[in-house]
Chain A
Amino acid sequence: MSAAVEIGYVAGGAWKRRALHAAAVLILAFLLLPIVIIILLSFSSGLYLQFPPPGFSLQWYERFFRDPQWMTSLWLSARVSMMCTALSVALGVLASIVLVRERFPGKTAVYVLILSPLIVPGIIIAIAVFFLFSRLHMMGSPVAMALGQAVLTLPLVVVIVSATLQGFDQRLEQAAIILGASPTRAFFHVTLPIISPGVISSALFAFLASFDELLVPLLLADPTTMTLPVRIWTTVTMQIDPTIVAVSSVLVAVALTVLVSAGALRRSRA
């Protein structure tokens, strides 16, 4: 009898499991579909956003890469993101060393200060930065955009680098010091090479976050300094321009590159 129950249970279980798996597949499709549709349409030969696409063409990519305005925005975004990444990685690595290794009064408060931009709604940080730079008469400045975005990327760097530093055996650095290296030399020649996968992946994620950021540059931009997200935003709110599907696919490619590289780094570390 117990065998019959067992068989009945398995059969019933299999049916339920299939339903559950079907639901999971549908939900996954919901997650992927918009991205897939964007990429499909970006290669469309149609004159408007016809679905399914009538044929293959690179016309929207051509429009994007030939348009000086889009190219100006792409270049500006790249510059702003690189400044932002360099700044937040430099500050973040130094801060992480102290936060992971030292005990000091007020450490929790420092953590809260550094990590809180992850929690504060994006719109609030954007207007805070906007008020500051409007006082400083730096509206439209790429440097202002990079500084404002670094507030958002610094905590990302600290979280990633701290996690890496915690797995680092400090005795290696101390051994170098015992053998006569100065603390600075020991850091650059022993510690940094070992934690470099973490530092590089923090730079990748900081770059992506900065490259994608809309609100901070939206409020700071003037008509000549629109980052890529800002130009997408103004285009999307004004008109229907299929060039956006090509721009969007480029941004998906950037995200994919970052994810794949970070994954490769993680594997190389393991």
Chain B
Amino acid sequence: MEQREPELPPAPAAGDGAGGRPASRGRGRTSLTGFLLLPALVFLAIFFAYPMIDIVVRSFADPGGFTLAHYGQVIEHPVYLRVFQITFEIAFTVTLLTLLLGYPLAYVLAGAGKLAASVIMACVLLSFFTNILVRTYAWMIILGPEGVINQLLRYEGLGDVKLLYNRYGVLIGMTYALLPYMVLTLYSVMRGIDRRFLQAARNLGASDWRAFWHVFLPLSLPGVVGGSLLVFILSVGYFITPRLLGGARDQMIAMVIEQHVELGVNWGFASALAIILLFLTTAGFMLYDRLVGLKALFESKV
């Protein structure tokens, strides 16, 4: 789907002021239909824009007035710096893992016949649209101390493995949750690569591997960059999966924010953390827009 600037078709519309100068009538129509946009704008102003500004204000406010103390707290306490470190570690590993699993699947998907492609696509979309809470709970059942994996291991007479409430659990669950984003982004790029280039390279004497490495891989790089960036940004703000599958040493930014709000202890500090997270996310998406273009993302998200 390419998004084109919509233009009024040349056919003259005999609307309200038929026969008038087309230009002035065009402007009149604009101001009239413009009202249709108002409800959405008012709604977003009240329920989105104002609350977001409220977070910014809270992050700089204390009973005495303006303060930078909430932001200072983030830097002063090694605990919170550690949270950022853990968040980036997890996000980075998850990005690598989804790329490792997503690339071959997207490659096969892009080259598959009609039937195989629709089967693969159906699986990816089912996973993508299944409630994240359900998908995470499934992993609790699979990885837990009394879970599917340990039951099967015990049945085979093997010892237990600890995969839940630690980093393994978080990485498995998040890789699982974010894999569809990676596959769909890679696929949208690979679909557009003309496979005859590969054939041409082979005909000219290149091995399969060489043809892939020198022809297909470079052409698929926009997908690799886009998918990785997208998965990384989404990982940094993740909450549900690490909260349910992780242990005490897997605290991520979003979890700390939620705790401070839930317990009602320090909304100012939670707001400061939220603003930092928002800043990181926005920077990430601006980079994404520069490298890949956000339009493609919004369309693939449907």
Listed in ascending order, the chain A residues whose CB lies under 8 Å from chain B are 9, 12-13, 16, 20-21, 23-24, 27-28, 30-35, 37-38, 41, 48-51, 87, 90-92, 94-95, 97-104, 110, 113-132, 147-148, 150-151, 154-156, 158-160, 163, 166, 169-171, 174, 177-178, 183, 205, 208, 212, 214-215, 219, 229, 232-233, 236-237, 244-245, 248, 251-252, 255-256, 258-259
Cβ-based interface call for B34 (8 A): yes
Least CB distance from A121 to B in Å reads 3
Query: How far is it, in angstroms, between the C-alpha of A6 and the C-alpha of B66 when the chains are bound?
Result: 75
Q: Chain B residues near A23 (CB, 8 Å)?
A: 104-105
Least CB distance from A40 to B in Å reads 10
Q: Chain B residues near A117 (CB, 8 Å)?
A: 48
| A102 B30 Cβ-Cβ under 8 A | yes
Q: Chain B residues near A21 (CB, 8 Å)?
A: 108
| B47 A151 Cβ-Cβ under 8 A | yes
Q: Which of B8, B141, B267 contacts A170 (CB 8 A)?
A: B8
- CB-nearest residue of chain A to B44: A113
Least CB distance from A180 to B in Å reads 10
Q: Chain B residues near A212 (CB, 8 Å)?
A: 131-133
In chain B between 246 and 274, which residues have their CB closer than 8 angstroms to a CB of chain A? Answer: 254, 257-258, 261-262, 267, 270-271, 274
Q: Chain B residues near A252 (CB, 8 Å)?
A: 130-131, 134
Query: How far is it, in angstroms, between the C-alpha of A125 and the C-alpha of B54 when the chains are bound?
Result: 12
Q: Pick 5 A–B contacts, CB within 8 A, sort by A.
A: A101-B8, A132-B51, A171-B9, A178-B13, A214-B133
Q: Which of B55, B127, B236, B299 contacts A35 (CB 8 A)?
A: B127
Q: Which of A20, A166, A177 contacts B104 (CB 8 A)?
A: A20
Q: Chain A residues near B50 (CB, 8 Å)?
A: 132
Q: Chain A residues near B34 (CB, 8 Å)?
A: 98, 102, 104
Least CB distance from A52 to B in Å reads 9
Interface SS of B by simple majority: helix
Given contacts A49-B146, A121-B281, A178-B14, contact A38 B6 (CB under 8 A): no
Residue from B15, B129, B139, B278 with most neighbouring chain A CB atoms (10 Å): B129
Q: Chain A residues near B146 (CB, 8 Å)?
A: 48-49
Least CB distance from B10 to A in Å reads 9
Q: Chain A residues near B271 (CB, 8 Å)?
A: 127
Cβ-based interface call for B148 (8 A): yes
Q: Chain B residues near A256 (CB, 8 Å)?
A: 126
| B51 A100 Cβ-Cβ under 8 A | no
Query: How far is it, in angstroms, between the C-alpha of A65 and the C-alpha of B179 when the chains are bound?
Result: 33
Given contacts A91-B39, A123-B257, contact A50 B151 (CB under 8 A): yes
Query: How far is it, in angstroms, between the C-alpha of A114 and the C-alpha of B48 when the chains are bound?
Result: 9
Q: Which of A12, A32, A174, A248 contacts B11 (CB 8 A)?
A: A174
Query: How far is it, in angstroms, between the C-alpha of A32 and the C-alpha of B180 when the chains are bound?
Result: 11
| A91 B43 Cβ-Cβ under 8 A | yes
| B281 A120 Cβ-Cβ under 8 A | yes
Given contacts A128-B54, A151-B44, A236-B244, contact A251 B37 (CB under 8 A): no
Given contacts A30-B176, A121-B277, A177-B15, contact A166 B3 (CB under 8 A): yes
Cβ-based interface call for B36 (8 A): yes
| A13 B254 Cβ-Cβ under 8 A | no
A-contacting 9-mer, from B117-125, B184-192, B218-226: B117-125
Q: Which of B44, B135, B244 contacts A154 (CB 8 A)?
A: B44
Cβ-based interface call for B24 (8 A): no
Given contacts A90-B39, A120-B278, 5 further A-B contacts (CB under 8 A): A94-B39, A120-B52, A123-B257, A155-B298, A251-B130
| B141 A38 Cβ-Cβ under 8 A | yes
| A132 B257 Cβ-Cβ under 8 A | no
